Chains A and B, each alone.
Chain A
Amino acid sequence: MSQEKQKKDLAPNDTLLNEKELKKLEKKRAKQEKYYTSSQWQLMGRKLIRHKLAVISFILLTLLYIGAIFAGFIAPQGLEDFSATYSNAPPSKIHFVHNGEFIGPFVYDYDITYDKFQNKVYVENKEKPYKINFFVKGSSYKILGIFKSDIHLFGVDNSDLPEGKDKVNVMLFGADQLGRDLFSRILIGSQVSLTVPLVGTFMSFILAIIIGGISGYYGGIVDTIIQRIIEVISSFPTLPLWMALSAAIPAGISVTKVYIFITIIMSLVSWPGLARTVRSKFLSLKKEDYVLAAKLAGVSDFKIIIKHLVPGFMSYLIVNLTLGIPNMILGETSMSFLGLGMRAPATSWGVLLQECQSISNIANCPWKLIPVLFVGTAVLAFNFLGDGLRDAADPYK
């Protein structure tokens, strides 16, 4: 009403305002109207964008997930490629200038010698440059399990390789014991390490909504029983529980099945906390006047849940889910690290870290700790994003 009045009031003054000012006013009004007509999610988005750390985290996570989706394409090596020659090779240096001449990015091959402890020592052989080309052919892979291809983003041009010599590789993060490129394996491993938490969270989200919803909506004895079950489950220490459950995974089953089992284990352990959040939100929202108003208007119980209650706590739930993901990442990593999770030939960040179980390995090949950086980045990014979401979750306060 006040706005309309303002407009009316402006009319006699039109002559006083020049066109530029009028346009500015019009723009301001449109901006305001946009704010007035923006929904909860739009308001949340606006608030989230102001949270710089959350935005940076979101970008980082997007990059990580793009890396996971296109792992086969970005990684120069495939899952099954290995080369005994380059076992424990250090990260390759990328050169641009050969014999004082700029020839684009290339790597040198290694000359291999042994020190007195019979450890391999790699020295660059500066005679022949091996050019790094883009979109080269390599081992075949599938993107999202559908699109088959053998083109890799980059790789070493091995076309004029002397016969009998092992292929020269570009190994940005060095190689492991079997001479596999760590960079490639981190990317391929992220397919497991970054998706198990997502799928697991989604599963526990479904469990939490159903069980927490039932508990909060019906109350009474059903509520009491469910609450006691939740208490019992959450009183177990997580790590032994994971170990016990993963011990139940039968040996010698396929990689896919192991993946599914691990996801189920993760979600079985994490749903109780979420279910509690759902229940308490349910209870507090049930008391809101607008729920009573809907009831008095004759809206059915089911519709009230779908239209008022679920959207009401959805934002909180998303915050909780986001903040729960780091736990799952760490969980999967530690399980795999202990050899209870993913097993070779499949890989994940935890599997990659298995090699770091011996001190001498870390001392000689410190690059094998690089997966830790990725785990840390992902965990922190999810935490910051969750933080930002939490601040933005209730745009009405």
Chain B
Amino acid sequence: MPETILKVNGVSKTFSSKKVDVKAVNNVSFDVKKGETVGIVGESGCGKTTLGRCIVRALNSTAGEVIYKSEDGTEYDLQHIDKKTMKKIRREIQMIFQDPFSSLDPRMTVYDIISEPLRANFNLSKKEMEERVKGIAQKVGLNPSYLKRYPHAFSGGQRQRIGIARALVLYPRIIVCDEAVSALDVSVQAQVVNLLKDLQEEMQLTYLFISHDLSVVEHISDKVGVMYLGRMVEYAPTDDLFGKPLHPYTEALLSAVPIADPTVVNDRIPLEGEIPNPANPPSGCHFHTRCKYCTEKCKTEDVEFVEMEPGHYVACHRAKELKLKGII
């Protein structure tokens, strides 16, 4: 049994302005084991990107803790450690971004982009640095002769490879992929997904794969968390989640996935209405306004995120009684 490498514990992030407080992430907890891929799915505005940024501490969360267990077994709470330790830990948790165009500085050569993290963290000689950058470039499928070029010479897929190389050059242990393949064309998407899987095996990486694309998540993840309005509503091993979801929202979400096969007719479970305003979420279970299984209790009582089956967490009052349909 692999050890737990990351423990997200009650993380919340509230964006406050003069008039309203928006709880973008609300009390989210889950564990990530070493070497596995955890997918986070949800529709736009559900807080998945904010959650990812809180975990890498690009944002400071307003509550909760993120416990990271480093190689030697020491545990650090990423939300509360001092700057110096953070700098040391930071190189072990890296990020890959969605937009392959805005994530690379157009004014730097590919070599400078990939070597920047090295220069910031280590005092390597020129030769050592060159070797390391070339090695990483080769690993992600970039021709080392391209290192002199600027990002404008590359297509989206190749740029994403550069972004991956930059994230890998510090030999991190966890990588947060924020919609890392969403902006790419289908065939390129497949190339990058395959690359990420190969790299995971080779470098024993742990991925946090944030995406709205359920089929990619299903393909790459070992466990999947579903978010709705800032809360995590279900977290389970991939097959469990897609096979027998326990939350009505997951069920509706799965039924809406378009399948590239004209013979498959999926009977979609329609979702009533629209996503409520996150600044003013509904009482009780946030999903009750659109849930067809909604009862009085759902409208008034807050739900807890509980382990219904081993490893399968859900936040629904009626999880026990409902028989929901999956798609595998």
Contacts and interface: CB of A to CB of B under 8 A. Distances in A.
Interface of A: 1, 4, 33, 35-40, 43, 288-290, 292-300, 303, 307-308, 311-312, 395-396
B170 interface: yes
A296 B121 contact: no
Contacts of B90: 296-298
Contacts of B97: 289, 292-293
A354 B104 CA distance: 55
Q: Is the interface of A mostly helix, strand, loop or mixed?
A: helix
Report, as a range, how many residues of chain B touch the other chain: 35 or more
A395 B116 CA distance: 23
Interface of B: 56, 58, 87, 90-91, 93-95, 97-99, 102-109, 113, 116-117, 120-121, 141-143, 146, 148-150, 152-153, 158, 163, 166-167, 170
B56 A299 contact: no
A4 B145 CA distance: 10
Contacts of B150: 36-40
B116 A297 contact: yes
Nearest to A42: B150
A292 B141 contact: no
Contacts of B149: 33, 36-37
A287 to B, nearest CB: 9
Contacts of B121: 297-298
B107 A312 contact: yes
Nearest to A291: B105
Given A4-B143, A298-B121, A300-B120, A289 B102 contact: yes
A1 B146 CA distance: 9
B105 A308 contact: yes
Contact of B120 (A4, A290, A292, A298): A298
9 contacts: A37-B109, A39-B107, A289-B102, A290-B105, A294-B116, A296-B90, A296-B93, A298-B121, A299-B117
B117 A297 contact: yes
A311 B166 contact: no
B143 A35 contact: no
A295 B166 CA distance: 12
A396 to B, nearest CB: 5
A351 B141 CA distance: 67
B153 A290 contact: no
Contact of A298 (B87, B98, B113, B142): B87
Could you say which of A4, A33, A297 has the most chain B C-beta atoms within 10 Å of its C-beta? A297
A363 B146 CA distance: 68
Given A36-B149, A37-B150, A289 B120 contact: no
Given A39-B109, A297-B94, 13 more contacts: A1-B141, A36-B152, A37-B148, A37-B150, A37-B153, A289-B99, A296-B56, A296-B95, A297-B120, A297-B121, A298-B90, A300-B120, A307-B116
A298 B102 CA distance: 19
A296 B166 CA distance: 11
A33 to B, nearest CB: 8
A289 B58 CA distance: 11
**4 closest Cβ pairs, A-B complex:** A36-B153, A297-B117, A289-B103, A299-B120
A1 B157 CA distance: 11
A298 B104 CA distance: 16
Contacts of A395: 152
A40 B108 CA distance: 9
A395 B56 CA distance: 32
Nearest to A32: B153
Given A4-B143, A295-B58, A290 B103 contact: yes
A33 B146 CA distance: 9
A374 B300 CA distance: 79
A290 B163 CA distance: 9
Contacts of B109: 37, 39
A12 B146 CA distance: 25
Could you say which of B90, B106, B109 has the most chain A C-beta atoms within 10 Å of its C-beta? B106
B300 to A, nearest CB: 40
Nearest to A40: B107
A1 B116 CA distance: 23
A243 to B, nearest CB: 42
B117 A292 contact: no
Contacts of A4: 143
Contact of B103 (A38, A293, A307, A312): A293
